[in-house]
Chains A and B, each alone.
Chain A
Amino acid sequence: MSISEGTLITPADFTGAGSAGDVSERGKFGVFGGRFVPEALIPALDEVAAEYEKARTDMAFIREFDHLLRTYAGRPTTITEVPRFAEHAGGARILLKREDLTHTGAHKINNVLGQALLTKRLGKSRVIAETGAGQHGVATATAAALMGLECVIYMGAVDCERQALNVARMKLLGARVVPVTNGSQTLKDAINEAFRDWVTNVDSTHYLFGTVAGPYPFPGIVRDFARIIGVEARRQVLELTGKLPDAVCAAVGGGSNAIGIMHAFIEDEGVRLHGYEAGGRGLETGEHALTLTAGSIGVLHGSRTYVLQDDEGQTIESHSISAGLDYPGVGPEHAWLKDSGRATYHGITDAEAMDAFALLARTEGIIPAIESSHALAGALKLGRDLGPDATILVNLSGRGDKDMGTAMKYFNL
């Protein structure tokens, strides 16, 4: 099916062919995933899983989702070749998948529209969500406004400050933003608080989870709704270059934009998959979010995965200049892709990410999100490794407007 006609997505796009962790396996990706949650939430998780199982093969649901992606989110998103930027990557060919051009400015909108439709099918009238950078919160508030749902967003108090613009956007969209003041006051604590709300209000409320982490069925559902990124990009790269890319790069926080672009390439053995985590101030400083690179296997937020934890299983606070990557856990499918060797994960420091952020702005006139800048920095390194014949596809997961406060401080603008 071509991109310009018919539906963007087909039922086949929803089955997640070629990967473990299909919802029918109850969310196990090898030893990773599963469910570690209070028993009180099990019926709600079962309900979401069962409804999603029906929805994903229901043409009416798929058509509605497709319609929203096209007429509301602005899909398909284009790919942009960035030769001036690529000069700094040893001349490799770099193609950006432009999720920054979607409505609300990040890949998060894809998952949110899918789950908001699911919320309506579940007969629920209220959505809650956690947010780090505020992009998932903005996307959720947007979908809630569109569909007439009550919306409460939990956001770490530290993140509220560094992403003040997004707090204002959410409020304008009619959401209530609850600053979370316990723990590290960032994404992990916002998730704890959202779970507490959910267990209290589960009859009326859907927890619109924002990334491919959490208990089954969230990792599979969020992946399937984000999968369109890679499905489109694979066709687009083939159309443009006549072959598949040599590598696919994405930033990894919880892992949704990364799995979204990687998933359609998993069966393509020649395509290398690279995820870039936030190296913060550097591994040796202990101030980073290198969950896959430097963490160990444990349980956080309902699923078995890699976790930043101490020798007694206490979560270690992460650090990143980018709120969206500042998370000490990661989606279980990435843990599985890492251990199976199919994908490789690396760290990018704050400084490397900010350099790539500024470089893309100056060379191509595109201001990326700081999250996405980690993937861009990764592509710069990878290009130098792979040489000028390589084609690298990068998920530009979001735009940088929300990060201007950070950029102003960092670059003294």
Chain B
Amino acid sequence: MTTLATVFEKARAENRAALVGYLPAGFPTIDGAIAAATAMVEAGCDVIEIGLPYSDPLMDGPTIQDAVHRALENGTRIADVMRTVEGVAKSGAATLVMTYWNPIDRYGADRFARDLADAGGVGTITPDLTPEEAGPWREASASAGIDTVFLVAPSSTEERIGIVADCCTGFVYAASLMGVTGARESVGSAAEGLVKRTRPHTALPVCVGLGVGTGGQAAEVAAYADGVIVGSAFIRRLLDAPNEQEGLRAVRELAAELAEGVRR
């Protein structure tokens, strides 16, 4: 099975950064998300984050809010998220779930971790779970054998970076800028500094996300980070496509462009 460790080993051996793509489950439909994520893997994504649609996504910008809203309107449930993970993991990518904390809390931490591992998921990214509150989730994840990824931000102090990095397994997620998710004209200038500040605290790979959307930006980030995370730009392609076929073509094209970027 592909794990985060094997992904980053392989990328390192090829002297490049890993490419991480994000899509919420249930968008544009449940099967549509599996198909889109699979296309992203075929075109070069090493890791897929499947978003668990949540009613109050306070870290997300308009693009992801829109997609998640549609996923919820489609009636997407946690069982569907697990099914999506299972489908995407078959493509050979290391597959994570990105979720706000409350759905896991409600589902039960142990049960969620077990079900995710059973579906072939390799871990979670939990953007609003602070280290102070993460104890039960780290234990549940450890016993299910899945990774726990947490975020550091440009505003993080050295002390906080250390605390967050200590909670991470798999990789550390460095938010490139102060803000919500969404593609931007340029990747935050703080990103490189944050990756540098994170290095002394951890031997884990450090991946950069928020605001990356083009091959050029991916190349820029790949120069200093171990992984490049792209979400809103993929969703934008699907939102703008006139039909599902065109959408698949568009995400495939973007994944190929980004995959080329991380190899420059």
CA distance in complex: A311, B107 (Å)? 8
Residue A5 at the chain B interface, CB threshold 8 Å = no
> Cβ of B224: which chain A residues have Cβ within 8 Å of it?
none
Residue A174 at the chain B interface, CB threshold 8 Å = no
Residue A221 at the chain B interface, CB threshold 8 Å = no
The residue in A196, A200, A202 that gathers the most chain B C-beta atoms within 10 A of its C-beta is: A196
Residue B140 at the chain A interface, CB threshold 8 Å = no
Instruction: Give the 10 A-B CB pairs with smallest separation, nearest first.
Output: A313-B106, A40-B153, A313-B103, A200-B179, A313-B102, A315-B55, A299-B102, A192-B58, A195-B58, A314-B55
> Cβ of A279: which chain B residues have Cβ within 8 Å of it?
none
Which B residues are closer than 8 A to A by beta carbons? 54-59, 61, 65, 69, 72, 77-78, 101-107, 127-130, 132-133, 150-157, 160, 164, 175, 178-180
CA distance in complex: A26, B155 (Å)? 20
Which A residues are closer than 8 A to B by beta carbons? 26, 34-44, 182-183, 188-189, 191-192, 195-196, 199-200, 202-203, 296, 298-302, 304, 307, 309, 311-315
B103's contact among A41, A195, A202, A314, by CB below 8 Å, is which?
A: A314
Q: List 19 A-B contacts (CB under 8 A).
A: A36-B129, A38-B151, A39-B130, A39-B151, A40-B175, A42-B160, A44-B155, A183-B55, A183-B56, A183-B69, A188-B56, A192-B58, A196-B58, A199-B178, A200-B180, A203-B178, A301-B58, A312-B106, A313-B102
Whether B153 contacts A182 by the Cβ 8 Å rule is no
Whether A43 contacts B102 by the Cβ 8 Å rule is no
> Cβ of A36: which chain B residues have Cβ within 8 Å of it?
101-102, 128-130, 133
B133's contact among A34, A40, A199, A300, by CB below 8 Å, is which?
A: A34
Other contacts beyond A36-B130, A38-B151, A39-B127: 4, CB < 8 A: A38-B175, A299-B105, A301-B58, A304-B133
Whether A43 contacts B155 by the Cβ 8 Å rule is yes
Whether B72 contacts A39 by the Cβ 8 Å rule is no
Q: Which residue of chain B is the closest to A315 with respect to CB atoms?
A: B55
B153's contact among A26, A39, A195, A312, by CB below 8 Å, is which?
A: A39
CA distance in complex: A35, B164 (Å)? 14
Q: Which residue of chain A is the closest to B160 with respect to CB atoms?
A: A42
Whether B106 contacts A39 by the Cβ 8 Å rule is no
> Cβ of A182: which chain B residues have Cβ within 8 Å of it?
65, 69
CA distance in complex: A311, B175 (Å)? 31
> Cβ of A304: which chain B residues have Cβ within 8 Å of it?
133
> Cβ of B179: which chain A residues have Cβ within 8 Å of it?
196, 199-200
Whether A43 contacts B157 by the Cβ 8 Å rule is yes
The residue in B55, B57, B103, B155 that gathers the most chain A C-beta atoms within 10 A of its C-beta is: B55
B59's contact among A38, A43, A189, A311, by CB below 8 Å, is which?
A: A38
Whether B106 contacts A298 by the Cβ 8 Å rule is yes
Whether A313 contacts B105 by the Cβ 8 Å rule is yes
Q: Which residue of chain A is the closest to B156 with respect to CB atoms?
A: A39
> Cβ of B156: which chain A residues have Cβ within 8 Å of it?
39-40, 42-43
> Cβ of B103: which chain A residues have Cβ within 8 Å of it?
312-314
Whether A40 contacts B154 by the Cβ 8 Å rule is yes
A314 with B155: in contact, given A40-B175, A196-B61, A196-B180 (CB under 8 Å)?
Answer: no
> Cβ of B61: which chain A residues have Cβ within 8 Å of it?
196
> Cβ of A189: which chain B residues have Cβ within 8 Å of it?
56
CA distance in complex: A42, B157 (Å)? 9
